[in-house]
Amino acid sequence: MTERGTREANVPAMTTMRVQRRRMPAEWEPHAATWVAWPHNAETWPGCLDAAEREFRLLVEKLSASEPVHVVVQNAEHARHVHEQLIPLGTARPIQLHEVPTDDAWMRDIGPTFVEDAETGLLAIDWIFNSWGGKYPPWDRDDAAAGGVAAQAKVRSQRVGLVIEGGALEVDGEGTLLTTESVLLDPKRNPRVDQAELERQLAELLGVRHVVWLEGAIEGDDTDGHIDEIARFVGPARVVCAREPDARDPNHAALERCRAQLEEARDARGRALEVIDLPMPPPIEADGARLPASYANFYIANQTLIVPVFGVAKDAEALRILSDLFPGRAVRGTPCRTLVRGLGSVHCLTQQQPALRHGPES
């Protein structure tokens, strides 16, 4: 067994006992903290990095109202810059800075996936990251980020031989995984792993007993179809699915297909899924290109639900629907019109650390 903050070897052989002893908690379960990485890559937000930082600061403020926030920064100089940005917030809960160099800020994809392990408590799964199939070199610092975060969190990590991003994984905490074929079965990610082998390894690593495979991606999504832009669990056997009623919109057909697949699906306990429509915002563009704006990219914090909003009329409808689904949480919109120019928003920028053993509680 390795020490905390270090990496294990590749995926061990699956056993029935091991599957039962691993569990990836649902996002609505209690968090010890949220991890984020402060935006710093001017190529991701060309000509608008300052505006992206301002929106990101508002996101951190909303997060810190609900739970401790751990912010990854590049170096000591960057830490001073971020500290200056955070001073005006005056948040009640602690915001801690950690020096973990990254190529970009998409913590959902570059950070670890935290799971519950009956033997060791909290465990950080450290996937291989290859920049969504090799799209944006270099990515060596992003690939090392999960291990760095685990070390800072003082959580044991396990490096595995699969290329997977956290935005491709949506679980109910009861053994069901939602994902898309275009991402997990992408030959540019895992060319020698077929569907059966992938499901076997996900069972071993995450305690997943049943995978619901969807087809589709929204316009502008450079991840090839991350599930967190399309469909999300909002409770056991309950899913919201982004929907575009305008048949002329390029997103219409793909989202209708995903919705139909969800209506035919069952969860790990054999239950049919209740599928709830979540509107799409109108097309949002930058430099003539469609951006992957989606209200499904929300984040479930301990006391709040944080939803990307884009300054359009549909914002209010999306917030109302999600408020009805999360009566125990305050639903808060956070501006993402600039952040989404980097091709992601709230969920893409966050990673939850479950409130289990072997991790910081404040």
What CATH number is attached to the domain comprising 71? 3.75.10.10
Secondary structure element (H or E) that encloses residue 257, with its range: helix 251-264
Of 214, 122, 204, 207, the closest CA to residue 172 belongs to: 207
Burial category of 187 from C-beta neighbours within 10 Å (exposed 0-12, middle 13-18, buried 19 and up): exposed
Residue 362 lies in a domain: no
Q: Which long-range contacts (CB under 8 A, 24 or more apart) does 14-21 make?
A: 14/200, 14/201, 14/203, 14/204, 18/204, 19/203, 19/204, 19/207, 19/209, 20/207, 21/117, 21/118, 21/119, 21/207
Give the model's confidence band at 120: pLDDT under 50 very low, under 70 low, under 90 confident, else very high.
Answer: confident
Q: Three-state DSSP class for 131?
A: helix
The stretch 19-34 carries a mean pLDDT of 91
Domain range holding 189? 16-354
Does the pLDDT of residue 213 top 80, yes or no?
A: yes
What would the two tokens of residue 196 be?
């059966």
Alpha-carbon distance of 293 to 113, in angstroms, equals 24
pLDDT per residue over 166-184, tens digit each? 999 999 999 999 999 999 9
The stretch 254-272 carries a mean pLDDT of 98
Residue that wins the pLDDT comparison between 11 and 333: 333
Q: What percent of the chain has pLDDT over 90?
A: 89
Give the model's confidence band at 110: pLDDT under 50 very low, under 70 low, under 90 confident, else very high.
Answer: very high
Structure pTM?
0.93
Does the pLDDT of residue 1 top 50, yes or no?
A: no
Does the pLDDT of residue 10 top 60, yes or no?
A: no
Residue 7 lies in a domain: no
Alpha-carbon distance of 347 to 260, in angstroms, equals 24
Does the pLDDT of residue 5 top 80, yes or no?
A: no
Amino acid at 76: A
In the block, which residue shows the tokens 């810190």?
64
Residue 205 lies in a domain: yes
What total of structural domains would you count in the chain?
1
336 catalytic per annotation:
no
Does the pLDDT of residue 8 top 50, yes or no?
A: no
Phi, psi of 268 (to 5 degrees): -65, -20
Which pLDDT does position 17 carry in this prediction? Answer: 40
Residue 161 lies in a domain: yes
Residue 5 lies in a domain: no
Residue 4 lies in a domain: no
Residue 343 lies in a domain: yes
Which pLDDT does position 20 carry in this prediction? Answer: 59
